[in-house]
Chain A
Amino acid sequence: MRDDPTQDRDELDILLDAALATYVDSEPSPSLRPRILAAASDLDRPSLGWLSWAIPALAAALLMTIFLTHRPAARRETSQPTADLSAPRVPASTERTAYIPPKSIATEATLHPGSNLPRAARSVRTTASVQPPLPRQDVFPTPISLNPEEQALAAAINRSPERIAKQIAQSGAPSQEEPIEPLRIAAIHIPPLNPPDNGDN
């Protein structure tokens, strides 16, 4: 039986083919097809997996927004003392207005329209007390139009400045040319209080 090499070869080929056929011969389990289709339908369902990264991302974006929106306000608050430090310019002006009679304040405001000293002094006082910081303007202090009384006064001055100046001189206000004389205050004599006569008070 083993003497013929060609017969051996044929037998080996047949044996090999049979073994190869059984090598790849396997049947899948009946549940394979439903399992594939179920997995495919799972893919179609909207997945909530994106929530795992979307929620932290949203929270981070929210925090960033809050941080960015509150940061300029904080800077404004911290810069407020600086504005107060620069404020002495205004109190100096207000000191100056203290020497000038009320009418002359408006006069000076009219002569120097950009200054607006009383209004500025007022705004400094209110800002320092309770009011929240106002938004920064291009021109500081913010120019404010004159009220009707100030406008009438300015018009009168423009019409006849000499007459107004004369009136101011007559009213006893110190002119700018004459040095201000120191005030002389007479000695104050305060009489003693009389005792109550009847005790009705």
Chain B
Amino acid sequence: MVSEDVAEFEALVARQSHFVYRVVYAILRNRHDAEDAVQETFLKLYRNHTWKAIEDERAFLARTAWRVALDCISKSDRLPKQASTDFQPDYEPALSAPSPEQHAIAAGQHTGIHRMIDTLPEELRQPLVLSAIDELNSREVAVILGLPEGTVRTRIMRARLMLKQKLAATMEKPHAR
């Protein structure tokens, strides 16, 4: 490969590797697997020389990374960590200014909600977690998943609704005691 191309590729890696990592990490939820998937994503582009003629760089990279992540899941024949749904926090939601104690409680809350997210069906989980990445709007998520934007929005709403219902149910239990 010509040195100019190499320099361009290095710039692309420097520019987008963090973003690609976040996309695959949202799907894989494992740091090592995500790094392998990021490397595979960029090497795939490098081999095919497709990275030179990309119109929407981020959307293209995100879609490629998403496919590589799905391949990783299918190869390892496993899904992201499945957590039990009987998450029962015995605390009040901490929404005001976080003290260290409240921060620890919030971390516990988040861990519980992460488990809930893991238990969502993949068709709902993937649009939800991709939309949670700051850099992606619903149109880009639709491009990545190859779905209409309206479908993506509907799935995100359904996922959020399911999570809130579960969360509300778990938070009702301590109050019912």
If A14-B95, A36-B13 touch, whether A21 touches B167 (CB-CB below 8 Å) is no
* Interface residue count on the A side (C-beta < 8 Å): 32
The answer to whether A36 touches B43 (Cβ under 8 A) is yes
Q: Are A11 and B93 within 8 A (Cβ)? A: yes
Asked if B145 is at the interface of the complex by the 8 Å CB criterion, the answer is no
Contact assessment for B95 and A11 in the assembled complex, using a CB-CB cutoff below 8 Å? yes
Is B31's CB within 8 Å of the partner chain A? yes
Contact residue among B39, B46, B114, B167 (Cβ-Cβ distance under 8 Å from A23): B114
Q: Ordered nearest first, which 9 A-B pairs have the shortest CB separation?
A: A19-B113, A20-B132, A28-B21, A24-B26, A19-B110, A12-B164, A26-B25, A40-B46, A22-B110
Interface CB pairs A-B, < 8 A, 19: A9-B164, A11-B93, A11-B95, A12-B164, A13-B160, A14-B95, A20-B113, A21-B132, A22-B110, A23-B110, A23-B113, A23-B129, A24-B26, A28-B31, A32-B38, A37-B13, A39-B39, A40-B42, A40-B43
- Asked if B163 lies at the interface with its beta carbon under 8 angstroms from chain A, I say yes
Residue numbers of A with Cβ under 8 A of B are: 1-2, 8-9, 11-24, 26-29, 32-33, 35-37, 39-41, 43-44
- In the complex, chain A residues whose CB is within 8 Å of the CB of B14: 33
Q: Do A32 and B164 contact each other (CB < 8 Å), given the known contacts A14-B95, A15-B95?
A: no
Instruction: Tell me the smallest distance from the CB of A161 to a CB of chain B, in Å.
Output: 91
A-B contact count (CB 8 A): 99
User: Which B23-60 residues have a C-beta within 8 angstroms of A?
Assistant: 25-26, 31, 34-35, 38-39, 42-43, 46-47
Assess whether A26 is in contact with B43, with CB atoms less than 8 Å apart: no
- Determine whether the beta carbon of B128 is less than 8 Å from that of A20: yes
B27's nearest neighbour on chain A, judged by CB, is: A24
By a CB distance below 8 angstroms, the chain B residues around A35 are: 35, 39
Name the B residues within 8 Å of A26 (CB-CB): 21-22, 25, 31, 34
Do A33 and B17 have beta carbons less than 8 Å apart?
yes
Residues on A with C-beta less than 8 A from B35 are 28-29, 32, 35
Closest residue of chain B to A26 (Cβ to Cβ) is: B25
4 more A-B contacts (CB under 8 A) besides A20-B129, A32-B17? A12-B164, A16-B113, A16-B167, A23-B132
